[in-house]
Amino acid sequence: MAIFEYIEVWYNRKRIHSSLGYLTPLEVEKTIMNRKRAA
């Protein structure tokens, strides 16, 4: 369970990526979802 929490809470949501414009994966996902709703 501790590994799952590390991956889900820390690594995936808070780790910024240069290929994503230094946004967190969660921020990128929210941006994509907002664009889909607006279309």
What secondary structure letter does DSSP report for 21?
T
Q: What is the pTM of this model?
A: 0.56
**Residue 30 is part of which domain span?**
2-38
Count of domains observed in the chain: 1
Using pLDDT thresholds of 50, 70 and 90, give the confidence band for residue 36: very high
Q: How far is CA 4 from CA 15, 25, 36, in A?
A: 15, 17, 29
Asked if the model's pLDDT at residue 26 lies above 90, the reply is no
Q: What is the mean pLDDT of residues 5-22?
A: 76
* pLDDT score at 12: 61
